[in-house]
Amino acid sequence: MNNQKPLLVVASGNAAKLREIAEILTDYTVISMKQAGFTGDPEETGETFLENALIKAKTVATALNLPALADDSGLCVDALDGAPGVYSARFAGGHGDDEANNDKVLDLLKSVPEAERGAKFCSAVVLCYPNGTYISGYGETHGRILFEREGTQGFGYDPLFFNVDLQKSFGIATAQEKNGVSHRYRALMDLKGKL
């Protein structure tokens, strides 16, 4: 009897994102695209989270001839007309500079009162097969932007995001707490329901 979990290649180099996906999709052995032999960097030219997730998943699935999962997610702030949105990872210029991105959001919202600091995290996930067919899922989690960082857990904008479900910042939430209500969890559950 074979008890091995099926392999799932994730089209990402973000270690924190990979860990989160592995903690949520416990039925799979989750590996990064680099571990699977893909060393490129798919260019995210889409205008939506779904378009970017599809670009990444399709590029990796085609190159490796294996099914590949990709997530594109970000923070959408009401007072910033939905920004940073698809530009969340590179909002302050450099890709993945969490500190600079957080500083920019805080700076842009410094005169915005608490009642107008609504925000949501959005996630689109795509599982793409080598033949180009794909399944997608979508999830959101709602909250507001704090006036200063709170906690050091998670990554990205987590220390600025006060989640309404948990009634605390993602920056002080445990991984288990966050993974139970996060946008990525909800998107992956949406996808799983379609598999």
What pLDDT digit, counting tens, does each position of 116-125 carry?
999 999 999 9
Q: What is the DSSP string of 39-58?
A: --------SSHHHHHHHHHH
> So what's the architecture of 7-194 in CATH?
Alpha-Beta Complex (3.90)
pLDDT exceeds cutoff 70 at 2? no
Contacts of 184 (CB under 8 A, 6+ apart): 17, 20, 21, 24, 71, 73, 123, 125, 139
Mean per-residue pLDDT over the chain, rounded:
94
Spell out the long-range contacts of 51-59 with Cβ–Cβ below 8 A and sequence spacing 24 or more.
Answer: 52/86, 52/124, 53/124, 53/125, 53/126, 53/136, 54/126, 54/128, 54/134, 54/136, 56/11, 56/12, 56/126, 57/11, 57/126, 57/127, 57/128, 57/134, 58/126, 58/128, 58/132, 58/134, 59/11
Name the residue ranges covered by the structural domains of the chain: 7-194
- The pair phi, psi for residue 82, each rounded to 5°, is 90, -5
Which of 42-46, 126-130, 158-162 is predicted least confidently?
42-46
Contact by Cβ (8 Å): 116, 79: yes
Chain centroid to CA 181: 13
Q: What is the mean pLDDT of residues 100-106?
A: 97
- Give the whole-angstrom CA distance, residue 7 versus residue 72: 20
Q: Which position among 27, 41, 71, 72 bears the catalytic label?
A: 72
| Residues of the chain above pLDDT 90, percent | 82
Contact by Cβ (8 Å): 173, 154: yes
- The pair phi, psi for residue 58, each rounded to 5°, is -65, -40
Annotated catalytic, 72? yes
